[in-house]
Homo-oligomer: A and B are copies of this chain.
Amino acid sequence: MFLAFLCITIGANAQWQSLFNGKNLKGWKVVGGTAEYQVEDGAIAGISKAGTPNTFLRTEKEYGDFILEFWFKVDEALNSGVQLRSHLTDGRVRGYQYEIDPSARAWSAGIYDEAREGWLYPMTGNPAAQSAFIHNDWNVARVEAVGGRIRTWLNGVPAADILDAQDASGFIALQVHAVYSEANVGRKIYWKNIRIMTEGLEYETLPETGIAQRNCVPNTISEREAADGWKLLWDGKTTEGWRSHKGPEFPDKGWHIENGILVVEKADGAESGNGGDIITKEKYRNFILSVDFKITEGANSGIKYFVNPEINSAEGGSAIGCEYQILDDAKHPDAKLGVSGNRKLGSLYDLIPAPDSKPYRKGFFNTATVVVNGNHVEHWLNGVKLLEYERNNEMFNALVAYSKYKNWINFGNFESGHILLQDHGDQVMYKNIKIKEL
């Protein structure tokens, strides 16, 4: 039995195919830009060039499920990546990218959705993989793209793990990123030992690792999320579970659902002046709430929690509760009001400012997370903690007493409350509204 097993394994290893012959660029072609690629000492060298957008050396063939391995060595000044299951549309290469990032950010082996959704798997939560990068020398990359799951490794360290449904197949491509200064022209990135396996993957995929998996399939709960206690707070299709903060029905205007996205419609920018805020029908006590949001230019909205719709049911005005502020800090005037930036994106509105250096991704969906565990509350943005506070104590009450909320009895101290999405008369998109009760 043992010998038979060995034979199968050796047989499976034999299925690797080289994508690069070590001598020339047969099987590859340049798309998207005009940076140059050449073969040097058995490696492909990509050379940064002024005045061109991102350039890609793509495989002529397309690949669906595969395991891909390659070596890379990159100039410290460049950013790069390797496209997976990608396509050329409207002259641009789009799709999953194995990030190559020698900068201090160190997000190599993260997954970026090139010219489409942006960061699918940033590396903020995986310091082990961040420190696995080798500067100014060869790194070994591995990708497993099997069905709706893509996993990456960097020098043997598990790096990224996503579920996604956008592309089942496409080409592989080596990126030479656009450069924006004369000093960065003519710099090089090298790839070699590029090999792929498309058969017998069931014998070659690596075991489960301990890293976090990110489910990028909109408005779904993955197996792992379900096992971990996550539930959809919005089904992606209907208004089920939500109502106006002013009554039992969902607002008949001001909101619509479109391709799995819940849209607050543009009106006159007034607070709850069009369709009005919406709240969950249920109340929540201890939870992790995760909401993806995308704002339009100059927009204002917010995610509130510990909301009691009874205490501000008069016409107009948003319902009262702790607010994770959603704002275009650059263009909305409220960003300059308040105290110490406590009305900017991610802040506990009018109370505790989020740091200015937050990882906001302009033009993309961003993930807001609110953690409530008894009196302890945290605000997160894209996997980075922005702020935390304790409520139901002298300091919280003293802070509230200075704020807009000073006249609301017991503000923020309720044991439980509804969750609210705010209509502030600006177009804002929401999706992937999920909750894990603690």
B interface footprint on A367-399 (CB within 8 Å = 1, 0 otherwise): 000000000000000000001111001111111
Report the nearest B residue to A388, measured CB to CB: B394
Residues of B close to A353: CB separation below 8 A: 394, 398, 401
Residues of B close to A390: CB separation below 8 A: 390, 395
The answer to whether B387 touches A339 (Cβ under 8 A) is no
The answer to whether B388 touches A351 (Cβ under 8 A) is no
Q: How far is the CA of A399 from the CA of B398 in the complex (A)?
A: 7
B interface footprint on A33-70 (CB within 8 Å = 1, 0 otherwise): 00000000000000000000000000000000000000
Residues of B close to A402: CB separation below 8 A: 339, 399, 402-403
Q: How far is the CA of A390 from the CA of B406 in the complex (A)?
A: 21
The answer to whether A352 touches B395 (Cβ under 8 A) is yes
Q: Which of B348, B388, B396, B406 contacts A339 (CB 8 A)?
A: B406
Residues of B close to A389: CB separation below 8 A: 393-395
**Contact A340:B398 (CB < 8 A) given known A388-B393, A390-B390, A393-B388:** yes
Report the nearest B residue to A348, measured CB to CB: B398
A308 interface residue per 8 A CB criterion: no
Q: How far is the CA of A387 from the CA of B394 in the complex (A)?
A: 6
Report the nearest B residue to A400, measured CB to CB: B340
Q: Which of B387, B388, B395, B406 contacts A399 (CB 8 A)?
A: B395
Residues of B close to A387: CB separation below 8 A: 394
Tell me how far the C-beta of A311 lies from the nearest C-beta in chain B, rounded to whole angstroms: 19
A86 interface residue per 8 A CB criterion: no
A422 interface residue per 8 A CB criterion: no
Tell me how far the C-beta of A95 lies from the nearest C-beta in chain B, rounded to whole angstroms: 38
Residues of B close to A397: CB separation below 8 A: 340
Q: How far is the CA of A339 from the CA of B407 in the complex (A)?
A: 12
Q: Which A residues from 248 to 291 make CB contacts under 8 A with B? A: none
Residues of B close to A351: CB separation below 8 A: 395, 398
Tell me how far the C-beta of A393 lies from the nearest C-beta in chain B, rounded to whole angstroms: 7
A342 interface residue per 8 A CB criterion: yes
Q: How far is the CA of A340 from the CA of B405 in the complex (A)?
A: 13
Residues of B close to A342: CB separation below 8 A: 398, 401
Report the nearest B residue to A401, measured CB to CB: B340
Tell me how far the C-beta of A224 lies from the nearest C-beta in chain B, rounded to whole angstroms: 31
The answer to whether B339 touches A394 (Cβ under 8 A) is no
Q: How far is the CA of A342 from the CA of B399 in the complex (A)?
A: 11
Residues of B close to A393: CB separation below 8 A: 388-389
Q: How far is the CA of A395 from the CA of B412 in the complex (A)?
A: 14
The answer to whether A396 touches B395 (Cβ under 8 A) is yes
Tell me how far the C-beta of A410 lies from the nearest C-beta in chain B, rounded to whole angstroms: 13
Report the nearest B residue to A353, measured CB to CB: B398
Report the nearest B residue to A394, measured CB to CB: B387
Among A339, A342, A390, chain B packs the most CB atoms within 10 A around the CB of: A339
Tell me how far the C-beta of A89 lies from the nearest C-beta in chain B, rounded to whole angstroms: 43
Q: Supply 28 A–B pairs (Cβ within 8 Å), ascending by A.
A: A339-B398, A339-B401, A339-B402, A339-B406, A340-B397, A340-B398, A340-B401, A348-B398, A352-B394, A352-B395, A352-B398, A353-B394, A353-B398, A387-B394, A388-B393, A388-B394, A389-B393, A389-B394, A389-B395, A390-B390, A390-B395, A395-B395, A395-B399, A398-B399, A399-B399, A399-B402, A402-B402, A402-B403
Could you tell me which A residues sit within 8 Å of B by CB distance? 339-340, 342, 348, 351-353, 387-390, 393-399, 401-403, 406
With A339-B402, A352-B395, A389-B393 known, 6 other A-B pairs at CB within 8 A are A339-B406, A351-B395, A351-B398, A352-B398, A353-B401, A388-B394
Rank and list the top 9 A-B pairs by shortest CB-CB distance, nearest first. Answer: A340-B401, A402-B402, A352-B398, A387-B394, A389-B395, A399-B399, A339-B401, A352-B394, A339-B402
